[in-house]
Amino acid sequence: MTTDTRSPSALPLAGIRVVEFTHMVMGPTCGMTLGDLGADVIKVEPLAGDSTRKLLGSGAGFYPLFNRNKKSIAVDLKSPQGREIVLKLIATADIVSENFKTETMQKLGLDYSSLSKLDPRLIYVSHKGFLPGPYDHRTALDEVVQMMGGLAYMTGRPGDPLRAGSSVNDIMGGIFGAVGAMAALMQRQQTGKGQEVQSALFENNIFLVAQHMMQFAVTGKAAAPMPERISPWGIYDVFSVKDSEQIFLAVVGDGQWKTFCEAFGYADLFADPRVTTNNDRVLARGWLIPELRTRLAQFSRAELSQRFEQVGLPFAPITDPQHLFDDPHLQATGGLAPMELPDGRQTQVPLLPLTLGGERLGLRLDPPKLGEHTDALLQSLGYSAGEVAALHAQGVVL
């Protein structure tokens, strides 16, 4: 299903081929990003398929989201014929991307050291738990690094560390892998040489909490978890309102305080000398926020949204993810693209959060069925129809 109105050649990474050996989230996110930008991304899968295809619960959306704009070839990498196919495929590539253990790629002869000897121009993106150092032997997951890297501490309440509600390190780690790949492509234009790019979960997490580290460096005071932090703004809270609905409301700065008080007729609060400035309101939160909770509870979420929007104040209804499929802004701006799932069902998928030349980067290829492009890719590598049939018969490819 194609929704991108531009020709493939008009995309910035048109003509760049990526061969990826990835699963789960981090590695596939890198390939998805490069694919959305126009690269020809080929996903090499085992004959049983990427195990992510079969995940349940919170993992059920991983495969279709992070494997769009890719082709799939299913190969037995442990067989000599399978390895030969993959090496021929890599010989056509600009970038190889992987997120397996270093030993796994070394045993297959698909590590950077081995492949760079065959093609010094090759760019190799390796997604790991940790960059080289004392921790690099550990097995990492997004939740592991959130716990050890301060993010779970900052997200939860004191004594109750809580992982963020998304695979933030996996996703951002994959995006940083793509950024590194594009930087290496630019450098290759100057030097003629490729290089290895490494992106890691732990270091990504540290980048996410760096603002809290630097808060301590500047103030000498440890950052409090977000639910207990001292807000820099007087009003910056979730309010429970009419019909048990919730809405986030913010009034930042003295100009917005004046606007807020005028919009709701709170002349008494505006005249109160205890809350004249933003810093005054921060210090008065102990009584000010309960007072506002009482006053605002009479309004519905829709009424508050309308009034805040009319006067230009920040607000946000609390929204469950499934309701975002119906979000009018996403629908109107092309933020969601039609997609066919591997089982044939139709849905929509969020696109990369950017525009190029005023256009979103759309969907060119649905997430592929296992081995969907095997035959076409083999033929492009010079295998005859008879040789392709023989490889299928021998169980080398699917």
Q: pLDDT tens, 349-398? A: 999 999 999 999 999 999 999 999 999 999 999 999 999 999 999 999 99
Whether residue 389 sits in one domain with residue 281: no
Whether residue 57 sits in one domain with residue 96: yes
Residues 151-189: tens digit of each pLDDT: 999 999 999 999 999 999 999 999 999 999 999 999 999
Catalytically annotated residue among 170, 254, 327, 375:
170
- Where a domain ends, among 293, 320, 347? 320
Whether residue 188 sits in one domain with residue 305: no
Whether residue 173 sits in one domain with residue 121: yes
Listed residue (25, 47, 49, 46) closest to 342, CA to CA: 49
pLDDT of residue 266: 98
Total domain count for the chain?
A: 2
Whether residue 86 sits in one domain with residue 60: yes
Q: In this model, does residue 71 exceed pLDDT 50? A: yes
Whether residue 156 sits in one domain with residue 69: yes
Q: In this model, does residue 29 exceed pLDDT 70? A: yes
Whether residue 281 sits in one domain with residue 388: no
Q: Which long-range contacts does 47-55 make (Cβ < 8 Å, 24+ apart)?
A: 47/74, 47/75, 47/76, 47/395, 47/397, 47/398, 49/74, 49/370, 50/22, 50/23, 50/370, 51/23, 52/23, 52/24, 52/25, 52/28, 53/342, 53/370
Question: Is the residue at 352 inside a domain?
Answer: yes
pLDDT of residue 1: 45
pLDDT of residue 6: 63
Report the percent of the chain where pLDDT is more than 90. 96
For residue 21, the domain's CATH number is 3.40.50.10540
pLDDT-derived band of residue 81, with 50, 70 and 90 as boundaries? very high
Beta strands 17-21 and 346-350, pairing class: unpaired
pLDDT of residue 231: 82
Residues 95-133: tens digit of each pLDDT: 999 999 999 999 999 999 999 999 999 999 999 999 999
For residue 247, the domain's CATH number is 3.30.1540.10
pLDDT of residue 229: 81
Residues 30-57: tens digit of each pLDDT: 999 999 999 999 999 999 999 999 999 9
Q: In this model, does residue 14 exceed pLDDT 60? A: yes
- Where a domain ends, among 259, 290, 320? 320
pLDDT of residue 232: 86
Specify whether 170 is catalytic. yes
Residues 259-299: tens digit of each pLDDT: 999 999 999 999 999 999 999 999 999 999 999 999 999 99
pLDDT of residue 308: 98
Residue 73 CA to its chain's centroid (Å)? 24
Provide the residue range defining the domain that includes 92: 8-209+334-393
